[in-house]
Amino acid sequence: MTHFLLIDKLPDDPFERELAREILLSERLRVTILAVVFAFILLLYGVFAIFYQEQFASLGVHDLSFALRVLGGGFLYTLGVRYVFGRFLEAEREPPYLARYANAFIETSVPTLALLILSQQVGPTEALISPPAFFYYLFILLATLRLDPWLCLFTGTVAALEYAGVAWLSREAIMAAPVATLSTSRWIYIARSGLLLVAGIVAAFVSVQLKNRFIKYVRSMEERGKLLNVFGQHLSPAVVNKLLAQTADVESETRNVCVMFLDIRNFTSFSEEKSPAEVVAYLNMLFESMIESVNNHQGIINKFLGDGFMAVFGAPLPDDQKCRHAVAASLEIIEKVRILSAGGDVPPTRVGIGLHVGEAITGTVGSSVRKEYTVIGDVVNLASRIEQLNKQFGSQLLLSEEVWQELGEGAHKAVSLEPLLVRGRQSPVHLWKLA
């Protein structure tokens, strides 16, 4: 926790650390903007002092050096503060909280100093409506970048009290004006001070909104990182967004899923004849299009298996059309591989795909450091066995009876195969050949 008088290290918690760092970056941006503003006005006054000295003299301003001193001091001060914030960022430490209040007080007092000096030259009435009086709003506006509502409120309060204080110190000169006008009424100065206070309150509200939006953004990035840690980097943006929209964590549960196993045929012989770089390039070329097909049909790549992978449809998000999506993704993959082979992008390649649907336990397993989303159940084992049977039938896509029954339209395109015993199963399994 940040102390009022002590310099703290940035928090160890990743979220709190990122928030503290963002506040320092925002503070540095704020003083950078102030430095640019001071430099611009300093340059402007320098031009006026050289070319328009007579016009200022006619208004009663005979000495412009006071403005140059105030603006120059403000410019150098903001540069110094910017340097200090930069050092805190490099050292990964937080400045004392009291120092931030002191800095806010000093910055907000710059217009007050200008008003006091200017009132000695042109009179308090004119000084209190001169441009320096409006600089308070600039400091209040930029205070929102502090991402601290209390500092915003403090800035508005200091501005209101100091402006009211200058008006009170000049009350005798103001009331001594020969003609009563709006500028001689004390209520106008009370109202202006009140507006400065209201501006501070509004800035505090805006600061809270900015901070909350940043917190929400960091939290969403944190949750996105957790999802990628659990599911890998092969989730489609649509699935990621849907998962982020869910408030609950991904917990173990029973789901009806369609499991896809895919294997690249004759990969072993291919890899023996090629260099490791060529093998990796070959796999990347194929997997890129395959992953795209799975993502486009609302599936996820659960794990890679060397020269193949396991994909799941219907988890972690439910999907009533999971079997149709799995079949559509499979046929699209087969067609893409055919096109890549025909175009010479990859050597002649065939794949074997097995699909089965059924109940499975889905959820995350692992530690706090590394977690993985897993699907456990007989449906996984049988889908793997079905994929292996493609070699026996010379096929590229085999479906279980359960998948075929859920297809509806398009199921007639599948060719029924004789029931056969599958390793690990006691009763024969009825399969359908679709490609």
Question: Which of 78-82, 100-104, 124-128, 134-138 has the weakest average pLDDT?
Answer: 124-128
**Does pLDDT of 198 surpass 80?**
yes
- Residue 5 above 50 pLDDT? no
Worst-scoring range by mean pLDDT, 157-166, 171-180, 257-266, 303-312? Answer: 171-180
**Phi and psi dihedrals of 60, rounded to 5?**
100, 0
The reported pLDDT for the residue numbered 398 is: 92
Average pLDDT over residues 198-203: 92
Tell me the pLDDT tens digit for each residue of 341-386.
888 888 888 999 999 999 988 876 666 556 666 788 889 999 999 9
Predicted pLDDT at 87: 86
Report d(CA 132, CA 128) in Å as an integer.
Answer: 8
Residue 417 has pLDDT above 80, yes or no: yes
Q: Please check whether residue 339 is in contact with residue 348, taking contact to mean a CB–CB distance below 8 angstroms.
A: no
**CA end-to-end span of the chain:** 63
Weakest-pLDDT range from 53-57, 273-277, 392-396: 53-57
pTM exceeding 0.75: no
**Calpha distance 375→259 (Å, rounded):** 9
Instruction: Report the run of H or E that residue 37 belongs to, with start and end.
Output: helix 14-51
Q: Which residue has the higher pLDDT, 16 or 333?
A: 333
Cβ atoms of 167 and 174 within 8 Å: the answer is yes
Six token digits for residue 297:
């049909």
Contacts of 389 (CB under 8 A, 6+ apart): 354, 398, 420, 422, 431
Question: Could you give the 3-state DSSP secondary structure of residue 320?
Answer: coil
Q: What's the pLDDT band for 178 if we cut at 50, 70, 90?
A: very low
What pLDDT score was predicted for residue 59? 52
DSSP class per residue in 349-395 = --EEEEEEEEEEEEEEEE-SS-EEEEEESHHHHHHHHHHHTHHHHT-
Instruction: Tally helices (H) and strands (E) across the chain.
Output: 16, 10
Q: What is the pLDDT of residue 117?
A: 79
Please state, in angstroms and as integers, the Cα–Cα distance from residue 381 to each residue in 63, 300, 319, 384, following that order. 90, 18, 21, 5
Instruction: Look over the chain and give the mean of its residue pLDDT values, rounded to a whole number.
Output: 79
Range of weakest confidence among 11-20, 37-46, 317-326, 345-354: 11-20
User: What per-residue confidence (pLDDT) applies to 247?
Assistant: 47
* pLDDT of res. 367: 60
Beta strand 351-366 with 253-264: parallel, antiparallel or unpaired? antiparallel
Give mean pLDDT, residues 219-230: 63
Q: What percent of the chain has pLDDT over 90?
A: 14
Q: What's the mean pLDDT in 266-278?
A: 81
Burial of 214: CB neighbours in 10 Å, binned 0-12, 13-18, 19+? middle
Q: Which residue has the higher pLDDT, 27 or 67?
A: 27
What pLDDT, on the 0 to 100 scale, is given for residue 31? 87
Q: What is the pLDDT of residue 1?
A: 40
pLDDT tens digit sequence for 56-93: 555 555 556 666 777 888 889 888 888 888 888 888 78
> What percent of the chain shows pLDDT beyond 70?
77
pLDDT at 332: 93
Domain ranges of the chain: 8-227, 233-433
Tell me the CATH architecture of domain 233-433.
2-Layer Sandwich (3.30)
> For residue 262, is pLDDT > 90?
yes
